[in-house]
């Protein structure tokens, strides 16, 4: 996790992955 966070590019990519998870959660709840 620390290795990922030390990379700015890795952090941004992980952020976009979280957006995809978030979209799935929003639609899964309803």
Partner 1 sequence: MEFVGYDWWTQFIRWGHIISAIMWIGHLWYFNFTQTPTMPKIPTELRPAVVRFILPEALFWFRWGAMFTLGFGLILAYMNGYLVDAIKIGIGDDNHKFTAIGIGMWLGTIMWFNVWFIIMPNQNKVMGVTPATPDEVNAARRMAGLTSRVNTLLSIPMLYAMVFAAHYY
**Residues at the site binding partner 1, with contacts judged by CB under 8 A:** 2, 5-6, 8, 11-12, 14-16, 18-19, 21-23, 25-27, 29-30
- Closest CB 6 distance from partner 1, rounded Å: 8
Distance CA 28, CA 30 (A): 5
d(CA 5, CA 8): 7
Residue 27 Cβ, how far from partner 1 at the closest point, in Å? Answer: 7
For 10, half-sphere exposure in the C-beta direction (CA atoms, 13 angstrom radius) is 7
Query: Least distance (Å) from partner 1 to the CB of residue 10?
Result: 9
């Amino acid at each position: 996790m620390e290795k990922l966070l030390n990379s700015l590019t890795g952090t941004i990519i992980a952020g976009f992955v979280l957006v995809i998870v978030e979209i799935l959660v929003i639609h899964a709840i309803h």
